[in-house]
Amino acid sequence: MIAIIDYGMGNLRSVQKGFEKVGYQAEIVTKPERLADYQGVVLPGVGAFADAMKNLKQMGMVEAIQNITASNRPFLGICLGQQLLFESSEEWGETPGLGIFAGQVRRLPSTGLKVPHIGWNQIELQRPSPLLVGIPNGTAFYFVHSYYVAPADQAIVLTTTEYGIYFASIVGQKNTFGIQFHPEKSSRWGLEILKNFGKLVDAC
């Protein structure tokens, strides 16, 4: 069973439907104490980093998320959910994050390309991961973002994507993962990533 955290910042139903399409039951959860009942947890998100952290704190989700990742249960952050895994964001001034991964969230620089970065773009595989089993190098996924993660440790970078600069589009360490694009909106290969996450949950 997979929990999808509802903290008022995500397209929860589309993520839930994505898991259902690949044969995994996912439930939307609002209470931190309920997360202990699930084998895997997903943190989606769309919007501002500071607002998201405020909501997570008010709900008591921060410690619950940190406990889940420390226990090595499969955890997946999607889009803003990926960014929240890091120590801080420069969006609207410096805002502390969950601190699961070392590094900062930064704004995409002005390189002549439009910001936000919206549309299909390719990933380049950097290292193998169970989350990426069966995903071909150069596969395109659907992105919508103005900020990107800059990990302090490049060893957690699983894929990169080029949009004026090369940025980490998937990060992961042990069973904690973050994805900048929207797998639930990325057709066949996005669903394959959700399926791979489900398999990690099954294995726990």
Measure CA 49 to chain center. Answer: 13
Q: Which sequence positions are flagged as catalytic?
A: 79, 182, 184
For residue 197, CA distances in Å to 77, 82, 158 come to 11, 15, 14
3-state secondary structure (DSSP) of residue 69: helix
Q: Which two tokens stand for residue 112?
A: 């002549």
- Burial status of residue 55 (CB atoms within 10 A of its CB: 0-12, 13-18, 19 or more): middle
Kindly give, in sequence order, each residue whose CB lies less than 8 Å from that of residue 94, ignoring residues fewer than 6 positions away. Answer: 88
